């Protein structure tokens, strides 16, 4: 699901409360209505939106009572920094992902489906600790990213108050790009991007080629 749409959907407190309830157990409309303290009609509308988004599903029991439950694992990452606002697309958890392909990350937590209860609880504790450490690591990385972008702005003489320079340089560091592509990528007017590139070209930081704007070999 598109991350922006998911943010809008979860902006409603009652929908968040419904998800917290369904994360504990499947429920039918009356249960949810009593838990939220709102009318069944309002609950049904919230459930419809959550179901349309693929976050919940429903099933009917022997008494023809419809139960709702969480459909899948979803992760949403939102980043707010001096360099902008961004949300990464929501994605489901992936148990089959080969963690060894992450060369900057080393993990030794292994979950065996044949483990006994004590061993499973120990694995659960390890994973919870790992989740907390990864969260702290993400905060550290975000801080270092902002510091590095500040330093880039200072190197080109713009200073941290003009962080758009760093955005442009980061965008063209791997391949040449046109003014239009850069304007779309950093979400800035074409005229502003063109003026900034010309300024950095005068400083010898970037240059214009047939393939587009790129970093100068001497920059």
Summarised one tens digit per residue, pLDDT across range 91-119 is: 666 666 676 777 777 666 555 666 788 88
pTM of the model: 0.63
CA 84, 86, 90 angle in degrees (round to 5)?
175
Would 120 be classed as within a structural domain? Answer: no
CATH number of the CATH domain containing 44: 1.10.10.10
Q: How many domains does the chain have?
A: 2
CA pair distance 119, 204, nearest whole angstrom: 60
Is residue 130 very low, low, confident or very high in pLDDT (cuts 50, 70, 90)?
Answer: confident
pLDDT at 45: 97
DSSP assignment of 62-121: TT--EEEEE---EEEEEEEETTEEEEEEEEE--TT--GGG-TT--------TT--HHHHH
Would 150 be classed as within a structural domain? Answer: no
Domain end point (choices 44, 70, 96):
70
191: containing domain: 156-215
Would 12 be classed as within a structural domain? Answer: yes
CA pair distance 186, 169, nearest whole angstrom: 11
How does pLDDT run across 17-46, given as a tens digit for each residue?
999 999 989 999 999 999 999 999 999 999
Would 171 be classed as within a structural domain? Answer: yes
Integer CA distances (angstroms), 169 to 51, 190, 218, in order: 42, 16, 14
Domain end point (choices 49, 70, 91):
70
Q: Which residues pair with 84 in a beta bridge?
A: 81
Q: What percent of the chain has pLDDT over 70?
A: 85
């Amino acid at each position: 699901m598109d991350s922006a749409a998911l943010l809008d959907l979860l902006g409603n407190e009652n929908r968040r409360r419904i998800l917290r309830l369904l994360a504990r157990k499947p429920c039918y409309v009356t249960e949810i209505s009593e838990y939220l303290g709102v009318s069944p009609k309002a609950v049904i509308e919230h459930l419809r939106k959550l179901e349309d988004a693929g976050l919940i599903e429903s099933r009917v029991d022997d008494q023809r009572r419809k139960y709702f439950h969480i459909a899948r694992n979803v992760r949403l990452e939102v980043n707010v920094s001096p360099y902008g606002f961004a949300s990464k697309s929501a994605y489901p958890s992936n148990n089959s992902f080969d963690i060894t392909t992450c060369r900057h990350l080393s993990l030794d937590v292994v979950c065996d489906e044949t483990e006994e209860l004590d061993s499973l609880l120990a694995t659960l504790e390890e994973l919870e600790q790992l989740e907390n450490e990864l969260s702290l690591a993400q905060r550290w990385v975000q801080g270092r990213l902002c510091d590095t972008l500040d330093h880039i702005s200072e190197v080109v003489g713009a200073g941290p108050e003009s962080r758009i320079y760093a955005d442009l340089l980061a965008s063209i560091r791997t391949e040449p790009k046109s003014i239009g592509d850069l304007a779309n990528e950093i979400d800035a007017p074409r005229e502003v991007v063109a003026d900034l590139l010309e300024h950095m070209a005068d400083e010898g930081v970037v240059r214009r080629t047939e393939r587009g704007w790129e970093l100068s070999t001497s920059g």
